Amino acid sequence: MSTSTAPAAVRIEHLSMRYGRSPVLALSDVDMVVHEGEFVCFLGRSGCGKSTLLSLVAGLEEPTAGTIDHGGRRVGMMFQDSGLFPWLTVQGNIELALRLSGVPRSTWSARVAELLDVVRLPGVQKKRPHELSGGMRQRVALARTLAQDCQVLLMDEPFAALDAITRDAMHDEIERIAAERALTVLFVTHNVREAVRLGDRVILMQPGPGRVASELDVELARPRRMDDAEIAVRAAYLHDLLDEQAGSKEEKAA
Ligand SMILES: Nc1ncnc2c1ncn2[C@@H]1O[C@H](COP(=O)(O)OP(=O)(O)O)[C@@H](O)[C@H]1O
Ligand SMILES: [Mg+2]
């Protein structure tokens, strides 16, 4: 389904961010609309403001200028590090999110089991994070984020630390879960193929100051696979754009 006709889920206008007295803006005059149910990947080299953008959408930071409107939708966030509390079991970690969301205690056990089913990791309630593999920990982290019943899911390089096989499995899971729950997803990565594998749209960013450089609609059928030839073609195109960015930077420095 085309999402460009869906209502706006996140509307960003003239967004700028300066950390402290830094001479360079981490983000400069960013404008964009992400539509309901859309899966948008933010791609760009380190320092182009990807994490800053997600932090601002999550409300973890205050912008220097501009506005973000998510129309009161609930926003959840997930990072490269699962961020699970090591001293709590899987059950305890997910219950904490349920508690913070005001879910009645009597339903916690059933909800935890249901969420672990959603991320296809049933029966691990009593495990502690260190007993799980990296991929399993990210599944639990996803379950915990979904426990907040978010409509907008922010993901900051969530699979960057996983091996390729585990990462491919997580791609299938997030694609399925996003579709089942009609989530709007803002997904940050510096992996070009991953961006094309997952995104309905890829927004390419550029550093110094952080800004949107260009964007690409990925009109490929799902499910997709990382090694699809169609993905390779688009990834090559985006790689060229990234190389051009790097080239123009070197010219300036010369
Ligand atoms: N908490 C912070 N304090 C000061 N500068 C920061 C902070 N976080 C990020 N920056 C700077 O803002 C710019 C964008 O960073 P970031 O959003 O982390 O980029 P990315 O996630 O694309 O790598 C970089 O120049 C970075 O050094
Ligand atoms: Mg980052």
Taking the centre of ligand 2 as the mean of its atom positions, its distance from the CA of residue 209, in whole angstroms, is 15
Taking the centre of ligand 2 as the mean of its atom positions, its distance from the CA of residue 109, in whole angstroms, is 34
Query: Who surrounds ion ligand 2 at CB < 5 A?
Result: 50-51
Distance (Å, rounded) from C-alpha 135 to C-alpha 73?
28
- Counting ligand 1 atoms within 8 A of each CB, the residue from 16, 19, 27, 30 with the most, and so the one to mutate, is 19
| Residue the block writes with tokens 């859309």 | 38
- Counting ligand 1 atoms within 8 A of each CB, the residue from 15, 16, 52 with the most, and so the one to mutate, is 52
| Residue the block writes with tokens 């933010």 | 42
Question: For residue 248, what pLDDT is reported?
Answer: 74
Question: For residue 252, what pLDDT is reported?
Answer: 62
Distance (Å, rounded) from C-alpha 38 to C-alpha 254?
41
Distance (Å, rounded) from C-alpha 146 to C-alpha 140?
10
Taking the centre of ligand 1 as the mean of its atom positions, its distance from the CA of residue 56, in whole angstroms, is 12
Taking the centre of ligand 1 as the mean of its atom positions, its distance from the CA of residue 16, in whole angstroms, is 13
Chain centroid offset of residue 41 CA: 7
pLDDT tens for 115-131 read 999 999 999 999 999 99
Q: Where are the domains of the chain?
A: 1-26+38-73+151-254, 83-148
Distance (Å, rounded) from C-alpha 197 to C-alpha 97?
30
Ligand 1 pocket by Cβ (under 6 Å): 19, 22, 26, 44, 46-52, 210
Could you tell me the CATH superfamily of domain 1-26+38-73+151-254? P-loop containing nucleotide triphosphate hydrolases (3.40.50.300)
pLDDT tens for 175-209 read 999 999 999 999 999 999 999 999 999 999 999 99
What predicted TM-score, i.e. pTM, was given to this entire model? Answer: 0.95
pLDDT tens for 38-73 read 999 999 999 999 999 999 999 999 999 999 999 999
* Ligand closest in space to the Cα of 158: 2
